[in-house]
Amino acid sequence: MSYKVLYAEDEPTLAQIISEGLRSSGYDVFLAKDGQHALEEFKRNPPDICVLDIMMPLKDGYALAEDIRRLKSNIPILFLSAKSMSQDVITGFKSGGNDYMRKPFDMGELLIRMEALLARLGSSADKTETVLSHRKFGGCKLDTVKQQLKTPKDSYTLSYKETELLILLLSHRNVLLERQVPLLKIWGDDSFYNARSMDVFMSHLRKMLKDDPDIQLMSIRGAGYKLIF
């Protein structure tokens, strides 16, 4: 059974390209050309994940996400937008978004992020809502409930922030995790103090992950981080 995607986008050419890409990857896609139409379809035929543009007629993506959250509190919501200012990203997360991608974007990265959101927050094969508590990657295993990381050499107890950072890194496997994303989702703002604090937590994770030589946590100066395996 394929996952159902509610895709809201008012730009016809982009909407067609992304819809075709999602369908060719096995998703069942419903395309809405404005926010109001998307909300009506959500009520009629609830999807498994929402991919929302922000600047749309009748109802923008922020307002649409807030309405969707009131109807189904834990459905994955991913924003796609040309709006790239820090405040735009903050508003996206505050309105209920789980992830935020700036246009233009790579179709492969979109698919990876959707798969990660569905694994964390989405429905299982029988559409029962669940959150996966165990994540295996390389020779490591992360227990998100117990906040424990097992590597080929040792077992570590993680802090809440370390656990959330690792979950975000895993959801962006082999692609750049921009610095703003974890700062806004976990710390709540991208102040200088919080940025330095995040760097310390990333350093702790890097030391633990060195137990597996096939895993690399890279710092991309001025841009963010990349978990490669």
What would the pLDDT profile of 37-77 be if each residue is shown by its tens digit?
999 999 999 999 999 999 999 999 999 999 999 898 889 99
Residues of the chain with CATH 3.40.50.2300: 4-121
Least confident among 31-40, 116-125, 154-163, 208-217: 116-125
Assess whether the previous peptide bond of 213 is cis (omega < 30° from 0).
Answer: no
List, edge to edge, every strand of the sheet that includes 148-150: 134-137, 140-143, 148-150, 155-157
63 phi-psi bin (left φ>0, alpha ψ -120 to 50, beta other): alpha
pLDDT for 124: 41
CB 122 within 8 A of CB 113: no
Architecture of the 4-121 domain: 3-Layer(aba) Sandwich (3.40)
What's the burial of 138, exposed, middle or buried (CB within 10 Å: 0-12/13-18/19+)? middle
Rounded distance between C-alpha atoms, residue 44 and residue 42, angstroms = 6
CB 193 within 8 A of CB 187: no
What would the pLDDT profile of 168-220 be if each residue is shown by its tens digit?
898 888 888 888 888 888 888 888 888 999 999 999 999 999 999 999 999 99
Residue 63, CA distances (Å) to 10, 35, 57, 91, 93 in order: 15, 8, 11, 10, 12
pLDDT for 92: 85
Q: Which fold has domain 134-228?
A: Arc Repressor Mutant, subunit A (1.10.10)
Residues of the chain with CATH 1.10.10.10: 134-228
pLDDT for 227: 94
CB 7 within 8 A of CB 29: yes
Displacement of CA 145 from its chain's centroid (Å): 19
Any idea what the Cα angle at residue 119 is, between residues 194 and 153, rounded to 5°?
70
